[in-house]
Amino acid sequence: MSETLVIAIDAMGGDNAPEAVIEGVARVAKKDKSVFFFLFGDEAKIKKLADANRLPDDRYKIHPTTDVIKGDAKPSIAVRSGRESSMWKAIMSVRNGYAKAIVSAGNTGALMAMSKICLGTLSGIDRPAIAAVLPSAAGPIVALDLGANAECNSQNLIEFSIMGHVLHHVLFQTEKPSIGLLNIGSEETKGRDEIREAASVLKGLEGKINFVGFVEGNDICAGKSNVIVTDGFSGNVALKTIEGTAKFITSMMKKTVKHSLFASIGFLIAKPALRQLKKKMDPRMYNGAMFLGLNGISVKSHGGADSFAFACAIESAIRMARNDLCNKIKNELKHVMDVDVPDISGEE
C-alpha cells in the first residue's frame, strides 16, 4: 500500500461550500484509501457534513477557522487581511510541510496571490502560470497559461513549455509530450516577436523537449499537440471561447429538439448514446486549474463545482503530489536549460 498522502482542503471556498466540498472529499476518500484530509473551515458544519457523507473519522482532521475569503474580494486585500481564513491556513499547511497539496474552490485571484506568497516561486521560474486539462479529439491536453500573466516574454513561454511537458507526463504518463506554441499562423514569420524568439530557443532543445512548432486556435480541440503554450491573455480567451462555443451549440440543439416533434422523438431514441457522449465530454471531469511554478501544489476548483467536479480537482492534486510534480519541474528545468539557454528576459 502506498504511503499516506495529506491533502489540505479549503472547505469554505466556492458557491456550494462547504456542502459540495465535503461531499467531494468523501467521494475521493471512498475510492482512495491512502489519502488523509485536512479540512479548514467551520468545525460544526464540516463535522455534520462529514458524518452525513459517511467520511470516516480516521480519514480527516478539522482545522477550525473563522474567516472566509469572499468571492469578490480583491487579491491584494485578501492577502493582507485574510490571514485567519480557511484558504490562507490551508495553503500554510502545505508551506509548513504538513500537507502535500491544497485544493480550493474559492476566489481565484486570492488563491493565486496567497499561493505565491506562502509557497514561493520555484527557483528557475520567472512567473508561475495557470494550467488546465482540456478534452481534444486526440485525448486530454494540457494548456497554459490560462490567465496568470496577461503579458509574457519569450523566457516565460519557454518555462511554460517545460512545465507543461512535465505536467502532461505526470498526469498521463506520456513519454515525450508534444509541445505546441499558440500562434496565428504556422509560418515562421507569423505572430509576435516573443513567440518567434521562444520558438527558436525551443527548437534548439531538440531531444530534451518534443517541440512541434506553432499551433493555431483550431488545433486546440483537434489535439494537434499534447501541450498548448501561450500567454495568459490568449489562453484565457481561448479557454472561455471553447466553453462559450460548446454552450452555444448545445443550446441550439436543445432549441431544435424543443421545436420539432420528430427531433424530440429522434433524440429520445438516441438518448442512451448521447448520454454516453455527454459523460465523455463532461466538463466536470476536467475541473481543476493548476498553479504551476510554485514550491508546492495548489489547485483551483471551479467556483460552481458540484461534489463530482470537486472530487476531480482533488484527484488531479493527488496525482501531482504522488508524482512529485514540483521536484520534477525543478529537475527538468535544470536538465533542459543547463547548456544553452541564457536568461533572455534580463528580469528577476
Q: CB of 127: closest distance to a second copy in angstroms?
A: 15
Stretch that binds a second copy, among 36-44, 45-53, 252-260, 339-347 (CB under 8 A): 252-260
- 260 binding a second copy? (CB under 8 A): yes
| Interacting positions 184-243 with a second copy (CB under 8 A) | 184-185, 190-192, 216-222, 230, 232-234, 236-243
Q: CB of 18: closest distance to a second copy in angstroms?
A: 26
Q: The cell 513567440 sits on which residue?
A: 195
- 274 binding a second copy? (CB under 8 A): yes
Q: Are the CB atoms for 41 and 11 separated by under 8 Å?
A: yes
Q: For the chain, what's the residue count? A: 348
Neighbours of 237 (CB within 10 A): 15
- 34 binding a second copy? (CB under 8 A): no
Stretch that binds a second copy, among 81-89, 172-180, 202-210, 250-258 (CB under 8 A): 250-258
Coil/strand/helix, residue 141? strand
Instruction: Pick between residue 44 and residue 281 the one whose CB is nearest to a second copy.
Output: 281
Cell of 28: 475521493
- 70 binding a second copy? (CB under 8 A): no
Stretch that binds a second copy, among 54-62, 163-171, 261-269, 314-322 (CB under 8 A): 261-269
- 281 binding a second copy? (CB under 8 A): yes
Q: Are the CB atoms for 59 and 29 separated by under 8 Å?
A: yes
Q: CB of 144: closest distance to a second copy in angstroms?
A: 14
Binding mask 102-141 for a second copy (x = CB under 8 A): ----------------------------------xx----
- 326 binding a second copy? (CB under 8 A): no
In b/e form, how buried is each residue of 260-286, taking b as 16+ CB within 10 angstroms?
eeeeeeebeeeeeeeeeeeeeeeebbb
Cell of 113: 496571490
Q: The cell 491512502 sits on which residue?
A: 34
Neighbours of 318 (CB within 10 A): 21
The residues with which 121 forms a beta bridge, in sequence order, are: 294
> How are beta strands 297-300 and 210-215 bridged, if at all?
unpaired
Residues near a second copy (CB under 8 A), total: 59
Position among 276, 331, 335, 347 found at the interface with a second copy (CB under 8 A): 276
Position among 173, 262, 340, 346 found at the interface with a second copy (CB under 8 A): 262
Nearest Cα to Cα of residue 25 among 14, 4, 11: 11
Position among 270, 327, 343, 347 found at the interface with a second copy (CB under 8 A): 270
| DSSP per-residue string spanning 96-130 | TTS-SEEEE-S-HHHHHHHHHHHH-BPTT-SS-EE
Taken in order 30, 32, 33, 37, the sign of the CA dihedral is: negative
The residues of the shown chain that bind a second copy, judged by CB under 8 A, are 136-137, 147, 150-151, 182, 184-185, 190-192, 216-222, 230, 232-234, 236-249, 251-253, 256-257, 259-260, 262-263, 265-274, 276-277, 280-281
